[in-house]
Amino acid sequence: MKLIMKTEFDNLRENDNHCYDIDKNGDKQVVKIYSGELLIAKKITLKKSIRFFGVSDYQKYLTNEEP
């Protein structure tokens, strides 16, 4: 997985064809986005640090909608 921008992560999360799961443990929160059974992106929040990750070909899952 590689770092992606927040807007790209939001695009993936808001797509109706994708589902997401949230895991929280203490100060750490992980949001995982799936396309079917395939993990395509995740967001890791640790205290005040937020990182967004996507699989190497995550662009093919993005929609063309403008906010």
Q: Reply yes or no on whether the pLDDT at 67 is more than 80.
A: no
22 close to 30: Cβ distance less than 8 angstroms: yes
What's the pLDDT band for 66 if we cut at 50, 70, 90? low
Q: What is the pLDDT of residues 11-39, one digit of tens each?
A: 999 999 999 999 999 999 999 999 999 99
State pTM to two decimals: 0.86
pLDDT of residue 63: 84
CA distances to 16, 25, 41 from 8, rounded to whole Å, are: 15, 25, 10
| Chain mean position to CA 36 | 14
